[in-house]
A and B are shown apart, each in its own frame.
Chain A
């Protein structure tokens, strides 16, 4: 065992023998992550042990033992992705699966307080019963909204109407790196309506922007912001099949559109107008090359071999899906009119409207809870996010154009999979001119060149951000040491400051950060 036997016994006493293991094979199931990382390794560090506390008190007791013996630890909720993997051989991984309660759902004030293992699907279902909805992450309904709002950076198709995940947390309960139970903001009085103060915002210190992915104490409760929802209170699915086959009944006040632009300039114009009119509940630009390869690989592989068909597909590369929800008949009419007008003004092809065919039904149902996104992370046909920094819509468009230029070069040189070049996953946020862009690349982990293309693409894209001043570091931060060295001196020494924050709150660095 890589941790002291006495420590193991003390932890065992806190959580119970059935909730701790150092079995190598069980630990191995917490260390395989091929996805969401630019380096082509399957095996992450195998944790020394897995511990499963069942309450905040047990979490605190565990962290205190870690401090006593200087044992490294890392926590995760539903555990999707390498971000929360162990980072040292003597690291104990905390699986928060046993903490799975919705503590409170406050309809009047639009707040849900949840424990780490509450899933997005569960929160969304409960919220819908009250005419509310939650800002879920595109990781899907089986993943933890607490993890998303407390510890990770991510966009989502609801960002236009619900904002970034990290801006969706109110007060929280947190076990500090020294094992104290800390009630942040109004949580001190068991109310969760605000996170900041009294005085400076400690919440901002421990949450930060991207989130520390389990390396900054352990969040045990978080208040999620809920939003008004005039859509269905439940899915009505007359048949038994999966969501793609299901004849989901979508109410008439929900409309779904696909808006296709041929030129970036037109897309940009449309996005500014969509932001101004605040009509979208969900919206995002998808890469037809990547989603197509994921869902229809047989068709795409053949189509890409035929130059004329490939060109035809490229014409639809800039595909934005839009879902609108009318809060009243007049609100719906207005939103429909706006979408149609914006499409007209921006030379778009607009398809859709009433959600009355299987494609639109599946799309809307899938967007509501991000069902089906798991399909996009499926090995060959999976993808890598290279860069993207949130800034003005037209800066995000510039980022996307640059990323497309780089990738087209790589495709022409046979250095990466052909996904038609444009991989921008682009959207507007908070009904404003702030955009979010992810430069996405199709990968096939079975192919050596495709794997090494991930890092090349990350580095090349980050150079563009650095030299052309296109809005910040964004996802380039996950490009490894090289990008840290590139960006730290020219970006307010963010890395040095981050280490200082860590050093003040977790002086022994027991919870290791993953990507640095």
Chain B
């Protein structure tokens, strides 16, 4: 009996887990690989529904030395390839059936969700409580909330993103070695039920004591542990709302303005987009975007329980004053864009099968990095030159800038439909950005090796991190391999 057979047998006997082994079905699981990395058909997909089942699956995987890839979202699309197996004989642990919204706490503005809960599902439920979840820009409706946040996908409200891993808080996880662990409030003492009974909001992300392992496993692409459930911060919808748009051809001026606005905690969701970005994400006609300045800062303002209208108008007026000082103008409307629609885009998820990054049949280049708002100009110019050099039209380049951590840094994303030039463009653009100090917090695909070659210190310690969680290396083998291949401690 092969390892995998013995493994599956043991699991079936011990846990009663749902296991998919049908060849046709298995083949389908890697059918929508949009990354440029080769996935392999898994030997089985298992669908745990309890923490104990995940624990058992990983314990057995350690015992039988079976490689495991974890996937949280339903469906089979993968933009980066991290949720697809790369090693023959892998088992996929699919968490999409762990999809209970376990708790919603209106007082403390918290929700506790299982790993398979999607943005669409959560927001629908939250709405009944007057709450909503701040999420990445037009997050995929069917994307797992926990998977997105664990991947440090930035949410849209820089003022609420105090530190990594906000808005993710406490996590119940199973290490690669099969040990169960609670990070932050999830550590206990006591079970989740006991703690909720005592009134806990499970809103502490760090701890217990000297540990901050939930944060360690962010950006790890499923190579360290499996998060079974987590608490996330949610926000009140508010009683009134308003949109604000500020535009400029000079991203340096607009970026500095955004920083001044955000540091004063003015506005809620806020993004910076170039013309193509406005057209793609907000659905503006090209004729509208052609006529408008190159860059747009879009933000929403809300009012809550205390003097809502006054609060909202004050925020707007303060933004106007800052804009005037910077030679800019704040507008409450944008030609060609309905405010309700704009608000829905900022506060909502994408429609099913209409994710802004992914259009069927197109090969895209999607590169994102971190740096500060004052280098966006330089990076954008470089990116335009690169795409032009690769024979693409720079006007087609989407530049999305997401201020983060109160605008101390920002996520800068470049996306272009590149057809057969995608691989070449991605490599060249990635190299140019890396050479110019772009920080790739989440290295994927062709750039991974170059990134880890640059970040030698991180690479030096990654084996120790891996050894802590997953000494046998069963979780997501092949992922972040260049990192883990660095010297051993």
Contact = CB atoms under 8 A, between A and B. Distances in A.
B448 to A, nearest CB: 9
A207 B206 CA distance: 11
Given A193-B372, A196-B152, A468 B406 contact: no
A21 interface: no
Interface stretch (B32-40, B313-321, B424-432): B313-321
Query: How big is chain A's contact interface, by range?
Result: 35 or more
Contacts of B220: 199-200
Interface in A361-391: 389-391
Contacts of B310: 334, 337
Interface stretch (A45-53, A323-331, A448-456): A323-331
Given A202-B465, A210-B209, A472-B187, A182 B306 contact: no
A155 to B, nearest CB: 13
A130 to B, nearest CB: 12
B264 A465 contact: no
A472 B204 contact: yes
Nearest to A272: B107
A168 B186 CA distance: 23
A470 interface: yes
A391 B457 contact: no
Given A200-B219, A433-B109, A500-B468, A392 B409 contact: no
Contacts of A241: none
Given A109-B372, A193-B372, A225-B408, A394 B187 contact: no
Which of A201, A210, A212 is most buried by chain B, counting CB atoms within 10 A of its CB? A201
Contact of B107 (A183, A199, A433): A433
Interface in A243-300: 272-273, 276-278
Nearest to B175: A497
Nearest to A273: B306
Interface size class of B (residues with CB under 8 A): 35 or more
B204 A434 contact: yes
A127 to B, nearest CB: 12
Interface in B350-391: 370-374
Nearest to B223: A200
Contacts of B127: none
B467 interface: yes
Contacts of A331: 264, 314, 318
B318 A330 contact: yes
Nearest to B483: A199
B229 interface: no
Interface stretch (B43-51, B57-65, B191-199, B290-298): B191-199
Interface stretch (B9-17, B66-74, B133-141, B436-444): B436-444
Interface in B211-227: 211-221, 223-224
A278 B186 CA distance: 27
A182 B441 CA distance: 17
Contacts of A434: 201, 203-204
Contacts of A183: 457
Which of B181, B314, B451 gathers the greatest number of chain A CB atoms within 10 Å?
Answer: B314
A501 B465 CA distance: 8
Contact of A432 (B185, B221, B224, B233): B233
A333 B318 CA distance: 13
A191 B371 CA distance: 9
A500 B466 CA distance: 12
A167 B468 contact: no
B189 A202 contact: no
A352 interface: no
B215 to A, nearest CB: 4
A104 interface: no
A392 B306 contact: no
B460 A180 contact: yes
A467 B264 CA distance: 42
A228 B373 contact: no
A378 B8 CA distance: 65
Contacts of A272: 107
A309 interface: no
B221 A199 contact: yes
A498 B408 contact: no
A439 B223 CA distance: 40
A273 to B, nearest CB: 7
Interface in A480-516: 487, 490-495, 497-498, 500-501, 504-505, 507, 513
A433 B442 CA distance: 30
B185 A196 contact: no
A194 interface: yes
Contact of B164 (A195, A209, A389): A195
A433 B219 contact: no
Nearest to B437: A189
B277 to A, nearest CB: 22
A465 B485 CA distance: 43
Give the 4 A-B CB pairs with smallest separation, nearest first: A469-B190, A392-B201, A204-B215, A197-B441
9 contacts: A108-B256, A194-B370, A201-B218, A210-B209, A212-B210, A225-B406, A276-B304, A342-B306, A497-B213
Interface of A: 108-111, 163-164, 166-168, 170, 176, 178, 180, 182-186, 188-189, 191, 193-205, 207-212, 225, 227-228, 272-273, 276-278, 327-328, 330-331, 333-334, 337-338, 341-342, 389-395, 398, 430-434, 465-466, 468-473, 477, 487, 490-495, 497-498, 500-501, 504-505, 507, 513
Interface of B: 105, 107-110, 152, 162-164, 180-183, 185-190, 194-195, 197-204, 206-221, 223-224, 233, 236, 256, 259, 263-265, 304-307, 310-311, 314, 317-318, 321, 370-374, 405-409, 437, 439-443, 451-452, 454-458, 460-462, 464-465, 467-468, 480, 483, 489
Given A110-B259, A200-B223, A477-B208, 16 more contacts: A108-B374, A109-B408, A170-B408, A194-B409, A197-B439, A200-B224, A204-B218, A205-B216, A208-B209, A328-B314, A330-B314, A391-B203, A431-B265, A469-B198, A492-B181, A492-B186
